[in-house]
A = this chain, B = another copy of it.
Amino acid sequence: MATKKKKGTAKKKELPIILVVNDDGITAPGIMNLVEAVKGLGRIVVVAPDKPQSGMGHAITIGYPLRLQRVHVMEGIETWSCSGTPVDCVKLAVDKVLHRKPDICISGINHGANHSINVIYSGTMSAAIEASIENIPSAGFSLLDYSLEADFTGARKYARMIVETMLSKKADKHLCLNVNIPTGDVDLIKGVKVCKQAYAKYEEEFEERKDPSGKKYFWLTGEFLNLEKSKETDVWALKNNYVSIVPVQYDLTNYAIKKKIEKDYTW
């Protein structure tokens, strides 16, 4: 009797469009796993960089032209390779591939963590943030394993669950989730925890070397330091084998300091 009560439900429901992007590049196992994770939930379209773009943050390509090419790397999935950054991929996907906004944009699955301050350097998360600026609900997924041979079983399970929830809830258009998933046995993951971004950062040191002609060069390296012990943070959640979800914003205004300097400073 449901068809009588709900007018129009007999009609073929239009599938939501799921835009899939990443920063590790179109051939990374992580993006294949993300596509696998959301199969059946909508019309999947992949637009991803043609080369690794880790650490590209919110970079966009200015002053250089971009290339976009249809490729066939995933059976039965519309897939495009882009010469630009992760953020360029989102912009190009909307304007030149989909010719409309997708219903959701998902990014990843990143090979390696994007918790705490990493969110700000991450191409994976910047692509998701770009979507949310454009009124497209989004989520970036990262697995705490840098290896190309990582086991994505747990990441796939939670990515699917989170995307299903977002689609069923008609998520806020500016919703952007930073999801990190612990490694190891999926059955040992305790569930999902909504968190704040930990105040944790890298104590950087550049390793100094000499090239064959004797000229100095530097490699970025460093030690990760968690400076916040609160149980509210993503770092705490991950250490305790939860999937961490941090809702992320693109309004960078520091309202607390704004109030303070309006009162204390004279210019």
Contacts and interface: CB of A to CB of B under 8 A. Distances in A.
Interface of A: 52, 54-63, 65-68, 85, 87-88, 91-92, 94-96, 117, 119-121, 126, 129, 133-134, 158, 161-162, 165, 169, 172, 174-176, 178, 191-192, 194-197, 199, 201, 204-206, 208-209, 215-220, 243, 245-255, 257-258, 260-262, 264-267
Contacts of A60: 55, 57, 121, 220
Nearest to A246: B253
B249 A257 contact: yes
Given A196-B255, A218-B96, A258-B194, A57 B126 contact: yes
Given A196-B251, A247-B258, 17 more contacts: A57-B57, A59-B85, A65-B217, A68-B218, A94-B204, A117-B250, A165-B265, A165-B267, A169-B265, A172-B257, A175-B257, A194-B258, A196-B253, A197-B252, A199-B251, A246-B252, A248-B254
Contacts of A199: 251
Interface of A is mostly: mixed
Contacts of A196: 251, 253, 255, 258
Contacts of A176: 254
A68 B208 CA distance: 11
Contacts of A251: 196-197, 199
Contacts of A197: 251-253
A241 B182 CA distance: 50
